[in-house]
Amino acid sequence: MAEKVVLAYSGGLDTSVAIRWIGENYHMDVITLTVDVGGERDMPAVRQKALKVGAVKALAVDAKELFVKYFVFPALQADAIYEGQYPLATALGRPLIAKLLVDTAADEGASAVAHGCTGKGNDQVRFDVSVAALAPNLKIIAPAREWGMSREEEIAYAQRYGIPVPVTVASPYSIDENLWGRSIECGVLEDPWAEPPEEVFAWTKSPKDAPDEPSYVEIGFERGIPVSIDGRELEGVALIQELNELAGRHGVGRIDHVENRLVGIKSREVYEAPAATVLLKAHKALEAMTLSKDQLRFKEKVATEYADLIYNGLWFTALHQDLAAYVQSSQRHVMGTVRMKLLKGNASVVGRKSPKSLYSFGLATYDKGDIFDQSASVGFIHIWGLPAKTQAQVQGLEELEKEVK
Ligand code: ARG
């Protein structure tokens, strides 16, 4: 009996060709696994296609809830954004798909897993490192990294074996999408000077065509997790879907990023992430109310580490567990409501309230009700400024003074 391999199958050209190619080159039986993390996809049609192209079995799982609960919301709690721009949608989906591949391989008695990533991107790293951490004995096959076919040769190969070449192949773009966002690269986007054409966007209206009237939306949080919209309690998946729709209509969440891939290449990617953009801003606004200055400063460092770790494929590591424990602890008082205004491509925080708010009206106000003792500032400043005063007296500030003159 032939050995079995579980292939992460999207239904696109690369992974369809991979079914046939693995059979031919590895003589293994291919079981496909299609994971629904919130991309638009006709699941029955995708399974049919896998079988038609030569898979011995075609499986599909709806992993949207798992994705939100174990990947998206923890990343939101961490404020994880790569290089200040990318909310990490694709990067968060990969370790989940890897985990499901590994589990399926165990269930099916497969000796290998496979994915459709090329050898130039981050996704191969995320799959391979995750699989190596979860199941070190599984072999990993990456046909698109191994076959050395050009796009034209791949299409010719598909045609030779009756593998349907979808019309989208005519589109020059490479697209990945899940609930947390849509990633678009290639085509004219490879010229970093070229403005992204309107056709690359699918979830967001052009801000110029978005409504002139703003929408206001109130997002309720418990422990840093969004739980309601305008007072209506919602499960995570539904909440994200609703915000993608609403914020997308206002043109919110378009991101144009020249990013640093782990494999040393700078690449230009365009993202659409309406819900992520709104939620990350709202979450930060609530943290600003409920965390101390020192917690906020430290958490920013953790956020950078956390984002890098997700981007770099290190989800299944001890460092991640450690950082995640810190993040969880930091969220225990992050509760309350944030009011967002969506208008013409912008999502702005316009209000926030929390039962655990550290904002004190009495301390902040310049009006009646001021409880801050201004005379106490004198002693505080005396001590605060002591090192500056001492050093200036002993060592002088000639250099600085020269510059000012
Ligand atoms: N650059 C993003 C990342 O590394 C997205 C990669 C997938 N993008 C795509 N258009 N297929 O996470």
Ligand 1 centroid to 119 CA: how many Å? 13
pLDDT at position 40 is 79
Q: Decide: helix, strand or coil at residue 8.
A: strand
Taken as a whole, the chain contains a residue count of 405
pLDDT for position 271 = 98
Alpha carbons 375 and 132: distance in angstroms, whole number: 62
Taking every pair of Cα atoms in the chain, the longest distance, rounded to a whole number of angstroms, is: 86
Q: Which pLDDT does position 401 carry in this prediction?
A: 74
Burial of 120 (0-12, 13-18, 19+ CB in 10 A): middle
Residues catalogued as catalytic:
14, 94, 123, 174
Q: State the distance between the two ends of the chain, measured CA to CA, in whole angstroms.
A: 86
Q: Is the pLDDT of residue 61 over 80?
A: yes
Every domain range in the chain assigned CATH 3.40.50.620: 4-171
Is a pLDDT exceeding 80 seen at residue 169?
A: no
252, 344 in Cβ contact below 8 A? no
How far apart CA 168 and CA 88 sit, in angstroms, is 24
Average pLDDT, the chain: 96
The response to whether residue 184 sits with its C-beta less than 6 Å from ligand 1 reads yes
| Concatenated DSSP letters of 37-64 | SS----HHHHHHHHHHHT-SEEEEEE-H
Give the position, in ligand 1's atom list, of the atom nearest the Cα of 82.
12
Establish whether residue 204 lines the binding site of ligand 1, counting it when its CB lies within 6 angstroms of any ligand atom.
no
Q: Does the pLDDT value for residue 166 go beyond 90?
A: no
Per-residue pLDDT band for 39 (boundaries 50, 70, 90) equals confident
Where exactly does CATH 3.90.1260.10 map onto the chain?
A: 177-353
Dihedral over alpha carbons 224, 38, 346, 209 (to 10 degrees): -160
DSSP state for residue 164 in the 8-state scheme: -
Q: Are 273 and 89 in contact (CB under 8 A)?
A: yes
Between 1 and 207, the more confident residue is 207
Query: Would the CB of 124 count as within 6 Å of ligand 1?
Result: no
Ligand 1 atom, smallest distance to 269 CA: 1
State residue 165's pLDDT score.
Answer: 86
**pLDDT for res 362:** 93
In the CATH hierarchy, which top-level class contains the domain 177-353? alpha beta
Cα–Cα nearest to 143, from 103, 113, 173: 113
Which ranges of 312-397 does DSSP label H, i.e. alpha helix? 318-330, 361-364, 376-384, 386-395
4-171 classified as CATH 3.90.1640.10: no
Is pLDDT at 405 greater than 70 in this prediction? no
Q: Which residues pair with 8 in a beta bridge?
A: 33
Cβ atoms of 67 and 235 within 8 Å: the answer is no
Answer for the pair 91, 75: CB distance below 8 angstroms, yes or no: no
- Under the banding of pLDDT at 50, 70 and 90, the label for residue 399 is confident
Categorize the per-residue pLDDT at 264 as very low, low, confident or very high, splitting at 50, 70 and 90: very high
C-alpha of 70 from chain center: 13
Counting ligand 1 atoms within 8 A of each CB, the residue from 15, 88, 90, 265 with the most, and so the one to mutate, is: 90
Best probe residue, ligand 1, of 130, 185, 258, 267 (max atoms within 8 Å of C-beta):
185
To test the pocket of ligand 1, the residue of 120, 130, 176 to mutate (highest count of ligand atoms within 8 Å of its CB) is 176
Work out the percent of the chain whose per-residue pLDDT is above 70. 98
29-36 and 57-62 beta bridge pairing: parallel
218: left (phi over 0), alpha (psi -120 to 50) or beta: beta
Per-residue b/e over 225-247, b at no fewer than 16 CB within 10 Å? bbbebeeeebebbebbbbbbebb
Angle at 230 between CA 228 and CA 235, to 5 degrees: 25
Q: Considering only 22-26, 233-237, 381-385, 396-400, which range has the smallest mean pLDDT?
A: 396-400
- Alpha carbon distance 187, 329 (integer Å): 44
Q: Which amino acid is at 25?
A: N
Q: Is 42 or 126 the better-scoring residue by pLDDT?
A: 126
